Amino acid sequence: MTLALPESDLAELTALVRRGGVVVLSGAGISTESGIPDYRGPSGAYSRNHTPMTYQAFTRDQTARRRYWARSFLGWRTISRAAPNDGHRAVARLQRNGLVDSIITQNVDGLHQAGGADDVIELHGSLDRVICLDCGDLSGRLELDDRLRGANPHFGGETDPETVNPDGDVDLAEELLDGFAVVDCVNCGGVLKPDVVFFGENVPKDRVVDCHATVDRAGLLLVLGSSLTVYSGRRFVMQATKARIPVAIVNQGPTRGDECAAVRLDSPLGPTLAALAAATT
């Protein structure tokens, strides 16, 4: 994909990034070119009437929990195979060149790290970890996947990548869920949950504090691929604006932070960020 963007627009963003001290706030839009649909784009999860799992339903309803794990068992295949795209690699390049200090991501796919970035704060956790809600034991998702495969040898098949959601599950008819077996914590027999923040669940307080401190130190808050609809991410734009830290936004489609942006580009993330990284080298 080539970048169809006026040079003057890119030049304005380049000038801000060249000052350094950039803190990136990324959302699902940066991972769409890796084959993971976003929530609010034209082919996103909400366009398919997808309803994300809530913390309350997961913890209180055994049937809802089984539904989530069955769908997540299939969705994990796409998430685990996803590779970083030009956008992720460009952010890592900007970081290596000393222009990006830190990355706050709302994504749970681990693609920033896979693309070479470090100092990544995973605001909503990561799908590659599993936590026991009873004893707090943390384990790897690959280990859980092996156990689920053993308990459900005849369940599922190849998944259409377009049915996978950013939170790692897939759209699946209710009648296909019959017979799926959920496994429990090997340590205590308790309830297992992906180490991610579900809708209706609070981001851990120490993580939020860390993010606020990171934004306080920023010379620029660069928002990538987020509509900023959810307060969890939008609060950092509000914080930067109040502190008179410039905000730049690259996203396809409108965002709830557009009025705060010193620079606003409506363009594909991969080509735009690759061009930005090249222009600042």
The strand pairing partners of 127, in sequence order, are: none
Which has the closest alpha carbon to 74: 196, 179, 177? 177
If DSSP codes are grouped into helix, strand and coil, which group holds residue 150?
A: helix
Alpha helix segments (H runs only) across 190-261: 205-216, 231-242
User: How does DSSP classify residue 54?
Assistant: B
50 a catalytic residue: no
Say how far apart CA 250 and CA 227 lie, in whole Å.
Answer: 10
Say how far apart CA 67 and CA 57 lie, in whole Å.
Answer: 11
The strand pairing partners of 203, in sequence order, are: none
Query: Is residue 280 within 8 Å of 99, Cβ to Cβ?
Result: yes
Selecting among 50, 88, 124, 212, the annotated active-site residue is: 124
Residues 6+ apart with CB under 8 A from 27: 38, 105, 106, 107, 223, 224, 225, 226, 227, 228, 233, 251
Place of tokens 């350094």: 20
Quick one: CA dihedral 44, 50, 55, 58, positive or negative? negative
Q: What is the CA radius of gyration of the chain?
A: 19
Say how far apart CA 151 and CA 180 lie, in whole Å.
Answer: 8
- Count of residues in the chain: 281
Q: Which residues are catalytic?
A: 124
